[in-house]
Amino acid sequence: MARAASAATPRTNRLLDQLPARERARMIAACEEVELDFGDVIDEAGGTIGHVYFPTSSFISMLVPMGGTSTLEVALAGNEGMYGLPVAFGIPTSPMRALVQGEGPALRMNAATFRREIARVPALRACVDRYIYVVMSQLIQVAGCNRFHLVEQRLARWLLMTADRAHSNTFRITHEFLAYMLGVRRVGITEAASALQDRKLITYTRGLLTILDRKGLERSSCACYRTDLTTYSRIFN
């Protein structure tokens, strides 16, 4: 998604920031900085992973294809995480489609280099393993969330997660895209978004969505949003 206001966008990746200074510098030196565009498909499900990505102000969505055009987003990686975990498992292919959802820069590293580094640097292994734990917790949360929570709660959660990774309360989005991400019909999104708008939590005009009341939106979201944040800070702090 195109950020409407390119506010304070971080040039750093929080996962790499966990490493000791020397290792961090080495990692960054071995990466190249790339610009990711909204809608870029980094890998298709089943495709070989050429590079792992450490988003700095971009973010990448992991989607499970459902046959036809239908999909479901199951994970989102921004500057708090990385894309390319299968490489850390010693597996060269991606089980999901990786789609750029928030445009901007990312650091990327050749998959072979990453595999070598993770075997060589225990601090990197430990840090990535912790991130795997976070991703797995999020997946568990998503599985439950999909089963039990209402579209409105899920939409609120998704908007909060996206705003966190976009580092902005305003972003461009279509109802169609939201329906695609949340795996629901478009009309369901329209209803849920109107309800949030009626309560003055968000505004949505001509494709531009703004979060007006973050606290209120958090209250409208299911607890899954909070749980994800708590897990991350528990694991990394």
Partner 1 sequence: MPGGNGGFEGCASVAGSYGGTLAPSPVSVCSVTHIDIARAGGGLESVRERTFVRAEAHNRGPPALARSAMPNPKENHLLAALPAAEYRRLRRHLTTVDMDLGQVVYESGRPLDFVYFPTTCIVSLLYVLESGASAEIAVVGNEGVVGISLFMGGETTPSRAVVQSAGCAYRLPAKVMKEEFSRGGALQHLMLRYTQALITQMAQTAVCNRHHSVDQQLCRWLLLSIDRLTAPEIVMTQELIANMLGVRREGVTEAAGKLQKAGVISYRRGHIKVLDRPSLEEMSCECYDVVRRETDRLLPFHSATLTKSSGKSPRRAAR
Q: Cα separation of 128 and 151, whole Å?
A: 32
Which position among 91, 123, 150, 208 is part of the footprint of partner 1 (CB under 8 A)?
91
Residue 172 · residue 4 · CB < 8 Å: yes
Task: Name the 3-class secondary structure at 106.
Answer: strand
Residue 63 · residue 72 · CB < 8 Å: yes
Binding string, residues 19-58; x marks residues near partner 1 by CB under 8 A: ----------------------------------------
Long-range Cβ contact pairs of 142-151 (< 8 A, separation 24 or more): 142/74, 142/75, 142/224, 144/224, 145/222, 145/224, 146/72, 146/183, 148/222, 149/222, 149/224, 150/192, 151/182, 151/184, 151/188, 151/189, 151/191, 151/192
Measured from the CB atom, the residue of 11 and 185 that comes closer to partner 1 is: 185
What is the closest distance, in whole angstroms, from the C-beta atom of residue 122 to partner 1 in the complex?
A: 8
Residue 44, class by beta-carbon neighbours within 10 Å (0-12 exposed, 13-18 middle, 19+ buried)?
middle
What is the closest distance, in whole angstroms, from the C-beta atom of residue 180 to partner 1 in the complex?
A: 13
Residue 212 makes contact with partner 1 by CB under 8 A: no
Residue 119 makes contact with partner 1 by CB under 8 A: yes
Measured from the CB atom, the residue of 184 and 202 that comes closer to partner 1 is: 184
Chain residues 143-172 in contact with partner 1, contact rule CB under 8 A: 143-144, 146-148
Residue 124 makes contact with partner 1 by CB under 8 A: no
Q: Cα separation of 102 and 2, whole Å?
A: 7
Which position among 12, 113, 137, 174 is part of the footprint of partner 1 (CB under 8 A)?
137
Residue 123 makes contact with partner 1 by CB under 8 A: no
What is the closest distance, in whole angstroms, from the C-beta atom of residue 227 to partner 1 in the complex?
A: 9
Which position among 28, 74, 195, 229 is part of the footprint of partner 1 (CB under 8 A)?
74
Which position among 95, 116, 176, 185 is part of the footprint of partner 1 (CB under 8 A)?
95
Residue 75 makes contact with partner 1 by CB under 8 A: yes
